Homo-oligomer: A and B are copies of this chain.
Amino acid sequence: MSFLKLTVAYDGTGYAGWQIQPASPTIQGALAQAWLRITGEEPNFSASGRTDAGVHAEAQIVGVETQSTLSPWRLRKGLNAVLPEDIVVRLVEPAPTGFHATYDALRKTYRYQLHDGPAPPLFDRRYVWWWRAGRLDDLQMGQGGERFVGRHDFVSLQSLGSDRSTTVRTISNLSVTRTGDRLDITVTGDGFLYNMVRTIAGTLVEVGRGSKPPEWIAEVLAARDRSAAGPTAPAEGLVLASVEYQTA
């Protein structure tokens, strides 16, 4: 048996999220089917996180234990040959014994992508939230975003119905950058509550549109109440950008 680490990119538009489901197309389901075709094995995948329906990934990390003797290079080539064009295995690498993509993850980086021009987005239209109500103030959003950085109770930013035992997380970095009509909110943290990045995005949009000042973010966190924050931004703008592990 050997352990492998897969780096998987996907356009989540056509999928009901990462996690396998009986009646809906999922990334895990498509990847498991491809794996079975190439190796003959039913895989037991671990993933760095379960992305929701419509959410994209540049580098979802997937762990798998296998008896296959195919080289990483052959495996990648074979998987990509049978996967649909909206899922790509970017890398296959040997992983340490016992590697588990969920538990071993140290930090994850998500990017929330907005388009705030008056004309619709084009080439990135499947990967952005088109904000139609005028230019967002990205400087104000950046100032608001800084207040999320640090170790906080993020219970105000999680969707109801979540069952995580603790709602304290550490955000090590948050930046807001603009290129033309495109605005990216990039967030790195040691873990994220359910819908947390999308709620951070929706909350920063409240600041960007001028309905709240940057200082309001401190109130949102202090309230420890979901209704204190802004709305949950739509899934289509969210991309899992990278995951850090202690070991390669």
Contact residues in B for A123 (Cβ distance below 8 Å) = 9, 11, 56, 58, 124, 127
Which among B80, B119, B122 is the interface contact of A91 at CB below 8 angstroms?
B119
Binds B, one of A47-55, A81-89, A151-159, A199-207: A81-89
Nearest Cβ distance between residue A166 and chain B, in whole angstroms? 34
Number of interface residues of A (CB under 8 A): 24
The answer to whether the Cβ of A90 comes within 8 Å of any Cβ in the partner chain is yes
Report whether A119 and B11 are in contact in the complex, using a CB–CB cutoff of 8 Å. no
Report whether A85 and B10 are in contact in the complex, using a CB–CB cutoff of 8 Å. no
Mask: chain A, 120-137; 1 = CB below 8 Å from B; 0 = not: 111111010000000000
The answer to whether the Cβ of A210 comes within 8 Å of any Cβ in the partner chain is no
Contact residues in B for A85 (Cβ distance below 8 Å) = 120, 125
Measured CB to CB, the nearest residue on chain B to A85 is B125
Report whether A11 and B122 are in contact in the complex, using a CB–CB cutoff of 8 Å. yes
| B-contacting residues, A140-168, CB 8 Å | none
The answer to whether the Cβ of A40 comes within 8 Å of any Cβ in the partner chain is no
Report whether A120 and B80 are in contact in the complex, using a CB–CB cutoff of 8 Å. yes
Report whether A88 and B118 are in contact in the complex, using a CB–CB cutoff of 8 Å. no
Nearest Cβ distance between residue A119 and chain B, in whole angstroms? 5
Report whether B11 and A76 are in contact in the complex, using a CB–CB cutoff of 8 Å. no
| B-contacting residues, A35-93, CB 8 Å | 56, 58, 73, 76-77, 80, 85-86, 88-91
Contact residues in B for A10 (Cβ distance below 8 Å) = 122
Mask: chain A, 10-25; 1 = CB below 8 Å from B; 0 = not: 1100000000000000
Measured CB to CB, the nearest residue on chain B to A9 is B122
Nearest Cβ distance between residue A12 and chain B, in whole angstroms? 11
Contact residues in B for A91 (Cβ distance below 8 Å) = 119
Q: How long is the Cα–Cα vector from A86 to B126 in the complex, in angstroms?
A: 11
Nearest Cβ distance between residue A122 and chain B, in whole angstroms? 5
User: Contacts A85-B125, A125-B85 given: A76-B120 contact, CB under 8 Å?
Assistant: no
Measured CB to CB, the nearest residue on chain B to A239 is B123
Nearest Cβ distance between residue A161 and chain B, in whole angstroms? 31
Interface centre among A90, A124, A127 (most CB of B within 10 A): A90
Which among B76, B124, B125 is the interface contact of A118 at CB below 8 angstroms?
B76
